[in-house]
Amino acid sequence: MSACGRADFCFLLLLGLTLCPLCVTAGKILIWPEDFSHWLNIKIIIDELIERGHSVTVVTQSATQSIKTDQSSGYNVEVIQVPYSKKDVGDIYARLLKYWMYDLENDNMIQGFVKLSELINDMFEQNHALCREVFAREDLLEKWRKEQFDVLLTDPAIVCGELLAQKLNLPFIHTLSFSFARAMERHCGKLPATPSYVPAPGRLYTDHMDFLQRVNNFLFVVLTDIAFDLMAVAKWDRLFTEVLGKPTTRCETLGKADMWLIRTYWDFEYPMPLLPNFQFVGGMHCKPAKPLPKEMADYVQSSGDDGIVVFSMGSMIKNLTKERANTIAAALGQIPQKVIWRYTGEKPETLAPNTRIYDWIPQNDLLGHPKTKAFITHGGNNGLYEAIFHGVPMVGIPLFSDQPDNIHHMKTKGAAVMLDFNKMQTEDLKQALVDVINNPFYKENIMRLSQIHHDQPMKPLDQAIFWIEYVMRNKGAMHLRVEAHNLMWFQQHSLDVIAFLLSVIALVVYIL
Amino acid sequence: MSACGRADFCFLLLLGLTLCPLCVTAGKILIWPEDFSHWLNIKIIIDELIERGHSVTVVTQSATQSIKTDQSSGYNVEVIQVPYSKKDVGDIYARLLKYWMYDLENDNMIQGFVKLSELINDMFEQNHALCREVFAREDLLEKWRKEQFDVLLTDPAIVCGELLAQKLNLPFIHTLSFSFARAMERHCGKLPATPSYVPAPGRLYTDHMDFLQRVNNFLFVVLTDIAFDLMAVAKWDRLFTEVLGKPTTRCETLGKADMWLIRTYWDFEYPMPLLPNFQFVGGMHCKPAKPLPKEMADYVQSSGDDGIVVFSMGSMIKNLTKERANTIAAALGQIPQKVIWRYTGEKPETLAPNTRIYDWIPQNDLLGHPKTKAFITHGGNNGLYEAIFHGVPMVGIPLFSDQPDNIHHMKTKGAAVMLDFNKMQTEDLKQALVDVINNPFYKENIMRLSQIHHDQPMKPLDQAIFWIEYVMRNKGAMHLRVEAHNLMWFQQHSLDVIAFLLSVIALVVYIL
């Protein structure tokens, strides 16, 4: 929807007011995407932008894992040559997966801490190298400057999109579900810190906390804000200062965003304060189900009244240990439903006749099938929103990143049972499935969330596009950015005012 | 738009999910409106609700000043007989006007304070009597219970709508622009208090405050919150407790609202945090201009390239002193524009040939006329939004209530010049008009605000109706209400947590 197409705008135009420079018909958008499921998500926006006649340029690296760089997808691609290979990146993710799925269980605390530090450092080294390569490419920067993009869309999970936007002097928009402890949104985006009723992601609390949880949440919020700054000082601030040629920090640069598109909504979040430049777009990719492939459709149909269970651990998990795979397969064999399992590892010995393994599944179409009774998921944002969209209760087996938090939200809203991947036994998984399938509590709750999801003034994808085009036609959205960005942290929280008032009171008491 | 009409809902319905009980096709709405311009505003919502097939019942009092009670307007009316007359109510407003327009200038501080206290007390007595009459009408309460309304829409400027909703066990929605100091929204609605960058209405600051302003704003926020409670304890809490039959407060009852419809938007507000159950609907009543009546159209046309100035002090001001009227008329006579002045007082002696006085003007149509160069306004929310909608710069002469704050917003956003009604001289008004008409600064800024106003995902009236129907079809919106409502004030602001942590630190320091 371009502004010019709207009745009240046309009315203003008829009055001879020269608003047309502000209207977007076809614009140019620069994209700084992250890999894997993040890419799948931003790709939805890219496709829609192209559909609406915009020109899209994607910046990626030679070592990308998921991003198609063959220019057959309708967008332009700029591939940054990086001094590490696809395999190097893949290896880090494999180590990360191994860390979360096995090491965390088996290592002692010091071993675990060392491994995680090494991992984070190696990821940082790659990201840092990517940034250095981008900003060394004067030719590319010059080309992009000449292109005169209208906006840059960045995924802050991979650093430097915000820096590129500032370097090119472009309005920019973040797209994310949430950062660890929501430190990025709160500390850099100035989302109000209300730790008494807004649990920081990472704590697995709800908005209803007892005193000790509130103490814990308060400390967690304060400490993660400090940690965010320390990490940035150690890793990023010097690069940001060098590139921009003036003293700055990563946090300050992140906070210059015109808009934050958050990939959740009140179907997922506990109610909390928002800012005018934060907009929810959770579930952009969800659609009504299309018919299944013939073989799969027949299999699903053959399940009769018992229906089916859909099972996927996401695109990153290729393999499980023999023991875990057998534990899971044995549980699946004990339920009357048929099971469709997306799995590329070796076929487990305990696999029962009611379970079929597939390399790939049309997940959204399966979740939208009327015979689907439950979804076993690792709790990635994409799958979780498909389950909300179609109203399918979940058994969550989270592994890492935002997954434990995601599943915890669904559990506390009564729409999922949460299991521990490393500790769960066959009986646990079986019982969880029996519960979410047969206890109407779970179905009622997921239907309530589905109702909330569908009952919005605008669909999530339309919402995302509206605000991207909004930033384009208004050359930014600085009028939606709170003045807190121009205050020091102690000013923002009125600590200087409180100290002053306490001093005055102390003085008066002293004199009296 | 009913939920059932939306594609994704129909899709869900096709799946056989029984969502239809949640859909609204035609519902029943109970309205608790305030008089004067507030009524004009809520009437826009009422008309649209009726247009969409809903049944609307308006509760008013026998002494109403503006609300039509003859049942010819398409809504049902329940008139509460009150022990005071229309004239009694009119007298209080006349005293209030006199107080703001003359006494404030001429009385000393003690005289002023006594007069204002008496006024507030007299208004309270009337409002209190109205409430007592409503809750004494067991027959009416029983009738309304049987009617099974879906929602109650209340203007919190007149107390007891929230209490009626709780008594009838109905979901309810507030409609307001803002309360004094925004105490009601912040203290009872739990809107985050961020006094470092959100100026409290009543202070005439912007979001950019120096240290002393921040100290002042901080104290103002704290003190008005306390004052709100003290006032409620003195005037209301006993009645609320009696009616509900359990200990409660007015503030707690206000905070039970499912939704707050705020009659402003980011064209007016400084950026600030919002809550999920706060929605902006400012400018609901604005529409493209219709043609003017023949005589007026000819007069406007005769203004040539100079154009016209529209002048109204709102529906409450019937009269000015001879001196003020002459001062104003003399200024109007000195500009090349023709002036259309809505005024029912005696014709000023200094009235020049370029100025015509009307009992009533089609204000929106005049402001939308291409020849209109400026708007002289008292700064009521309705007129101000018409000026934003049509992009007309303003000369603001605020009198009372939210008017000084409204005009201050427009002034600091560069779209208006603000004058002091009592102090301004002929030359001041003339110069203000010359400035807003000839200095492109004002026109550019009001056009920027107009652009922000028009560039929303949904028009304000549609937004209001969407959220009213949302509350109806979802039987409330408790899932959008922050958990802060269930915390004590010191818990909400983490003061207990901070005290605990400081104690621990003190203990550790003491031991060491």
Q: What is the pLDDT of residues B143-165, one digit of tens each?
A: 999 999 999 999 999 999 999 99
Closest Cα in chain B, distance from residue A179 (Å): 19
Q: Find residue A417's DSSP bridge partners.
A: A395
CB-closest option in B192, B266, B447 to A479:
B266
Q: Which of residues 425-454 of B touch A (CB under 8 A)?
A: 447, 450-452, 454
Q: What is the pTM of this model?
A: 0.94
3-state secondary structure of A414: coil
* pLDDT class of B12 with cuts at 50, 70, 90: very low
Can you tell me the distance from the alpha carbon of A202 to that of A217, in angstroms, rounded to the nearest whole number? 10
Whether pLDDT at B3 is above 60: no
Q: Which of residues 9-38 of A touch B (CB under 8 A)?
A: 9, 11-12, 15-17, 19, 22
- Give the strand pairing for B394-396 and B416-418: parallel
The pLDDT of residue B510 is: 96
Asked whether the beta carbons of residue A274 and residue B277 sit closer than 8 angstroms, the reply is: no
Can you tell me the distance from the alpha carbon of A470 to that of A23, in angstroms, rounded to the nearest whole number? 9
The pLDDT of residue A34 is: 96
Whether pLDDT at B274 is above 90: yes
3-state secondary structure of A377: strand
Sign of the C-alpha dihedral computed for residues A391, A393, A395 and A397 taken in this order: positive
Closest Cα in chain A, distance from residue B322 (Å): 39
The token pair that represents B28 in the structure block: 């029943």
Q: Which residue ranges in chain A fall short of pLDDT 70?
A: 1-24
Q: Which of residues 176-205 of A touch B (CB under 8 A)?
A: 191-192, 194-197
B160 phi and psi angles, rounded to 5 deg: 110, -10
Can you tell me the distance from the alpha carbon of A242 to that of A265, in angstroms, rounded to the nearest whole number? 37
Asked whether the beta carbons of residue A271 and residue B500 sit closer than 8 angstroms, the reply is: no
The contacts found for A213-217 with CB under 8 angstroms, 24 or more apart, are A214/B491, A214/B494, A214/B496, A214/B497, A215/B497, A215/B500, A215/B501
Q: Is the distance from CB of A417 to CB of A381 less than 8 angstroms?
A: no
Asked whether the beta carbons of residue B211 and residue A454 sit closer than 8 angstroms, the reply is: no
Express each pLDDT in B205-255 by its tens digit. 999 999 999 999 999 999 999 999 999 999 999 999 999 999 999 999 999
- Give the strand pairing for B172-176 and A172-176: unpaired
Nearest Cα residue to B191 out of B237, B260, B266, B250: B260
Nearest Cα residue to A24 out of B425, B364, B451: B451
List chain A residues with CB under 8 Å of B481.
271
List chain A residues with CB under 8 Å of B391.
12, 17
CATH classification for the domain delimited by A24-285+459-490, as one of 3.30.540.10, 3.60.15.10, 3.40.50.2000, 3.40.50.1220: 3.40.50.2000
The token pair that represents A171 in the structure block: 């309005």
Q: Which of residues 379-418 of A touch B (CB under 8 A)?
A: 391
Asked whether the beta carbons of residue A455 and residue B474 sit closer than 8 angstroms, the reply is: yes
Q: Report which residue type is found at B427.
A: E
The pLDDT of residue A317 is: 83
The token pair that represents B349 in the structure block: 């002696």
Look up residue B270 and give its DSSP letter. Answer: P
A273 phi and psi angles, rounded to 5 deg: -70, 145
3-state secondary structure of A35: coil
Closest Cα in chain B, distance from residue A104 (Å): 31
Nearest Cα residue to B132 out of B156, B163, B153, B157: B163
Q: Is the distance from CB of B193 to CB of B213 less than 8 angstroms?
A: no
Chains A, B: CB pairs < 8 Å: 177
Asked whether the beta carbons of residue B455 and residue A474 sit closer than 8 angstroms, the reply is: yes
CB-closest option in A8, A17, A487 to B447:
A17
Q: In chain B, which residue's Cα lies nearest the Cα of A470?
A: B455
- CB burial string A12-44: b at 16+ within 10 A, e below: beeeebebeebbbeebbbbbbbbbbbbbebbbb
Q: Where are the domains of chain A?
A: 24-285+459-490, 294-454
Q: Report which residue type is found at B32.
A: W
Can you tell me the distance from the alpha carbon of A390 to that of A377, in angstroms, rounded to the nearest whole number? 14
List chain A residues with CB under 8 Å of B454.
3, 6, 8-9, 12
- Provide the CATH topology of domain B23-86+127-283+460-490: Rossmann fold (3.40.50)
Report the top-level CATH class of A294-454: alpha beta
Q: Find residue A226's DSSP bridge partners.
A: none
Express each pLDDT in B378-424 by its tens digit. 999 999 999 999 999 999 999 988 999 999 999 999 999 999 999 99
Closest Cα in chain A, distance from residue B473 (Å): 10
Q: What's the CA dihedral at A41, A45, A48, A53 to 10 degrees?
A: -150
User: What Cα–Cα distance (Å) separates residue B405 from each residue in A67, B301, B380, B414?
Assistant: 52, 34, 10, 14
A131 phi and psi angles, rounded to 5 deg: -60, -45
Q: In chain A, which residue's Cα lies nearest the Cα of B192?
A: A273
Give the pLDDT mean for B61-84.
Answer: 92
Can you tell me the distance from the alpha carbon of A193 to that of A200, in angstroms, rounded to the nearest whole number? 9
What is the number of alpha carbons within 13 Å of residue B246 lying toward its C-beta?
5
Closest Cα in chain B, distance from residue A197 (Å): 6
Q: In chain A, which residue's Cα lies nearest the Cα of B490?
A: A196
DSSP H helix total and E strand total for chain A:
21, 13
Exposed/middle/buried for residue B10 (C-beta within 10 Å: 0-12, 13-18, 19+): middle
Residue in this structure with the two tokens 């049309």, named with its chain if needed: A362
User: What Cα–Cα distance (Å) separates residue B21 from each residue in A388, A390, A393, B56, B148?
Assistant: 20, 18, 21, 20, 15
Q: Does A102 touch chain B (CB under 8 A)?
A: no
Q: Is the distance from CB of A464 to CB of A45 less than 8 angstroms?
A: yes
CB-closest option in B276, B451, B501 to A271:
B276
* pLDDT class of B24 with cuts at 50, 70, 90: low
Look up residue A274 and give its DSSP letter. Answer: B
Look up residue B150 and give its DSSP letter. Answer: S
Q: Which of residues 286-325 of B touch A (CB under 8 A)?
A: 288
Asked whether the beta carbons of residue B271 and residue A501 sit closer than 8 angstroms, the reply is: no
Residues 6+ apart with CB under 8 A from A481: A258, A276, A277, B271
User: What Cα–Cα distance (Å) separates residue A109 from each residue in A112, A115, A181, B299?
Assistant: 5, 10, 21, 85
Can you tell me the distance from the alpha carbon of A278 to that of A266, in angstroms, rounded to the nearest whole number? 13
Asked whether the beta carbons of residue B482 and residue A207 sit closer than 8 angstroms, the reply is: yes
**Reduced to 3 DSSP states, what percent helix, strand and coil does chain B have, rounded to the nearest 5?**
50, 10, 35
Sign of the C-alpha dihedral computed for residues A454, A458, A463 and A465 taken in this order: positive
Whether pLDDT at B107 is above 90: no
Q: Is the distance from CB of B337 to CB of B307 less than 8 angstroms?
A: yes
Q: Which residue out of B6, B197, B269 would a mutagenesis test of the A interface target, given it has the greatest number of A Cβ atoms within 10 Å?
A: B197
User: What Cα–Cα distance (Å) separates residue B352 from each residue in B303, B306, B338, B355, B427?
Assistant: 14, 16, 10, 6, 15
Number of CB atoms found within 10 A of residue B481's CB = 21
The token pair that represents B267 in the structure block: 């064209």
Residue in this structure with the two tokens 């509460």, named with its chain if needed: B80
Which ipTM value was assigned to this complex?
0.93
Can you tell me the distance from the alpha carbon of A6 to that of A18, in angstroms, rounded to the nearest whole number? 15
Look up residue A28 and give its DSSP letter. Answer: E
Can you tell me the distance from the alpha carbon of B506 to that of B228, in angstroms, rounded to the nearest whole number? 35
The pLDDT of residue B13 is: 42
* pLDDT class of B309 with cuts at 50, 70, 90: very high
Nearest Cα residue to B254 out of B353, B136, B160: B160
Q: Is the distance from CB of A19 to CB of A12 less than 8 angstroms?
A: yes
Express each pLDDT in B445-502 by its tens digit. 999 999 999 999 999 999 999 999 999 999 999 999 999 999 999 999 999 999 999 9
Alpha carbon B32 to its chain's center: 14
Closest Cα in chain A, distance from residue B200 (Å): 14
Helices (H), B195-321: 211-235, 237-244, 250-254, 294-301
* Higher pLDDT pick, A124 / B22: A124
